[in-house]
Structure 1
Amino acid sequence: MQASFNYVRLSHVLTIVPQNLINIDDELDTRYKGDIKKLSQIKKNVGLQYRYEADQETTASDLGEYGAKILFNEFSIDKNSLDAIIVCTQTPDFFMPPTACYLHGKLGLSEKTLAFDINQSCSGYVYGLYTAYSMIENGSCKRILFICGDTWSKFHNPLNTPNLGGDGISITLIEHSQKEHKSYFDLGSDGKGLKYLFMPFGAFRDTNLKTMKEPEILNKNIKEKQVYMNGLEIFNFATRKEPLVFSQLLQYANYDQDKLDFVFFHQANKGILEIITNRLKINCDKVPLSIDKYANLGAASIPATLCDSVNSYEFPLQKNLKIVLGAFGAGLSWANALMTLDTDFICKKVQIYQKEKK
């Protein structure tokens, strides 16, 4: 589906990662079983080097709360002015109630502030923005806090396989704009591809893997809270679909690709992003990478890359920037957005969570 908005702007973006920094070189004798060739291939082809992991006590909501308080305190955002708080995460604190309701209470938000979750994976950041933009454009809201991301380290990850994911949460403030602020979205889904990237066990379906019509999964000893991915199918999906819908978005917006300042893709895999960039003939200088610093942050990978690349808190924007956000992943789902970052837009370099001492 496609949609455009006229009076909504991206105001502030922050990204928070937990304290524990892991260098995959230190995992040579554990996760990689001394196979230096395999480790080198992962670094070269996937782009992994560092990732951040939360400890057992720290959850996605803790990182979100920490970032929201930075937003309120450092940028003088009145929390009572929020019309809604939306959370998109695959690692909630509870099955019930929504993490947004939990954070609503932790942050002391007004009873008039709506709170709900979105269950979406790697495309979640752009899906969440679309939801917030829709609510503001229709006049029901003026200011929405959107918290997005996961603590992937909580999932089961066998020690003998590369850990592609890192932990991180983004905090985004979306606001009504008095002046025209045109933005365009293009989103889609293909539920038939669910079987190529999903978590079979851990919820309420008693999954029979033999009925999934996915032969590869039968060769895996999948545990509870372990993600299954058919790497080849996902690679083909991403490199085929993203160039198509990216071009479709620009055609819908009637916008010249060469005029873009930045393109922020979901940081799935360095090789995937290089193929997409080459197929679209985008100048690679306009396509920042962050997978080497944080691994795959899932839905938070786009805002993390934006924060480190733009960092307008330290380097205020001298002109408006035209950007595209491009996401793709489990579902299967995809979502792209063309928008403007104006000279008042604020984002900070990715911040490291500082745990309160009890």
Structure 2
Amino acid sequence: MHAAIEAIAYILPARTETSEGLARAHPDWPLEKLVERTGVRIRHVAGDDECASDLAVDAARRLFADHNFEPGDFDFVLFCTQTPDYLVPTTACLLQERLGMPTSVGAMDMNLGCSGYIYGLGMAKGLIETGQARRVLLVTADTYSKFVHPRDKSVRALFGDAAAVTSVVATDDGPAIGPFVYGTDGSGAEDLIVPMSGMRQRFGNAPPPDVPDRFGNVRSAQHIHMNGKGVVDFTLREVPGAVRAICERSGLSLDEFDAVVPHQASAKVLEGLRRKIGLTEDRFLVYMQEIGNTVSCSIPIALARAHEDGKLRPGARLLLVGFGVGLSWGATVVRWPDNA
């Protein structure tokens, strides 16, 4: 018994923000520099009362409708998010009830960001190939916009919100997901962090003050802090090695892959990575100009959009690599399904 990707669906919030609009509202934010650095012109942003679980439910319902699934067809829900509805209870449990899934399903949250889809595929594969599940609903959803200070140009023009849902199913057709490589470097945790997002730092009756940095970006301890240089350095230091490692573990050369699908980090990061691993643009799939960096959703959305564009033939061999907040990274090999 092996695990395989069966289908993917995704949802983007209705509300959008454009880089052009940000540049008009903030004349000191040069438009072309923003777009050159991020590669993003439009981002979808969750509504004030719209949570990651709301997007996840909509994406799951789209998957069900598009592929004639019933809620009872799945026996495990994996929900990858860093913006849960609550710390207690587990948001995956709320998804089970809202989607009308039977109480016999397992459900759990994973707190991972940019590498989360790779880890989620690894967990889904483990559940299926050890006989614990026949079909897994792998859900990724994040609303990072709720962490972003409106006057922080280092991240405001970059992060978008989204949800993506992947059906991972048991098959007798042979290996279609894996092998995997993983990596972790917690010494870089402060390169991407929301300091007051858990129990380590908490504020009392008054919210923490807004503080500008030396570049004019404004944020508080409740907002996301990103060390852009640290993230770029980490990516170029660790990710090419992960790509080489997955080639070695799979016994395949980079030339034997139809495409590499990276986490959609930013234009600057992706171009540096593409050059370093030596791939042509047509085999390095980038879909972020009208979406932004959607964190855990970026790889499945890129897969779905490449499929919509006719860039993924049935049986295509793909190298997926995620990297970012943690610091964390992972890579795997997947075979694109025949009837996605």
Superposition TM-score, scaled by structure 1 size = 0.86
Cα distance, 1:66 vs structure 2: 0.9
**1:35 correspondence with 2:32:** no
Deviation digits for residues 280-326 of structure 1 (CA, Å, limit 9, x no counterpart): 111210112122111111111111111111128xx596541000111
Q: 1:316 to 1:326 in 2, by over 3 A?
A: closer
Q: Summarize the alignment of residues 1-358 of structure 1 with structure 2, pairs less than 5 Å apart.
A: 7-30=2-25, 33-35=26-28, 38-162=30-154, 163=156, 164-182=158-176, 183-206=178-201, 222-311=219-308, 319-344=314-339, 346=340
Cα distance, 1:41 vs structure 2: 1.2
Instruction: Indicate the SS of the match to 2:301.
Output: helix
Deviation digits for residues 41-96 of structure 1 (CA, Å, limit 9, x no counterpart): 12113212110011112111111111111222231112212110110111111121
Instruction: Indicate the SS of the match to 2:49.
Output: coil
Say if 2:19 and 2:34, in contact at 8 Å, map to a contact too. Answer: no
Say if 1:317 and 1:343, in contact at 8 Å, map to a contact too. Answer: no
Q: How well do the aligned residues superpose, as a CA RMSD in angstroms?
A: 2.2
Cα distance, 1:143 vs structure 2: 0.3
Cα distance, 1:221 vs structure 2: 6.4
Say if 1:266 and 1:302, in contact at 8 Å, map to a contact too. Answer: yes
Cα distance, 1:161 vs structure 2: 1.9
Output the CA distance in 2 between the equivalents of 1:144 and 1:86. 7
Instruction: Indicate the SS of the match to 2:175.
Output: coil
Q: 1:155 to 1:17 in 2, by over 3 A?
A: same
Deviation digits for residues 251-272 of structure 1 (CA, Å, limit 9, x no counterpart): 1111021121111111111111
Output the CA distance in 1 between the equivalents of 2:171 and 2:251. 22
Instruction: Indicate the SS of the match to 1:95.
Output: coil
Cα distance, 1:250 vs structure 2: 0.5
Output the CA distance in 2 between the equivalents of 1:67 and 1:148. 10
Say if 1:168 and 1:297, in contact at 8 Å, map to a contact too. Answer: yes
Instruction: Indicate the SS of the match to 1:34.
Output: coil
Cα distance, 1:207 vs structure 2: 7.1
Output the CA distance in 1 between the equivalents of 2:96 and 2:42. 32
Cα distance, 1:156 vs structure 2: 3.7
Output the CA distance in 2 between the equivalents of 1:175 and 1:64. 19
Gaps of 5+ in 2: 204-211
Gaps of 5+ in 1: 1-5, 209-216, 347-358
AA at the equivalent of 1:23: T
Aligned residues: 328
Q: 1:56 to 1:174 in 2, by over 3 A?
A: same
Output the CA distance in 1 between the equivalents of 2:118 and 2:237. 19
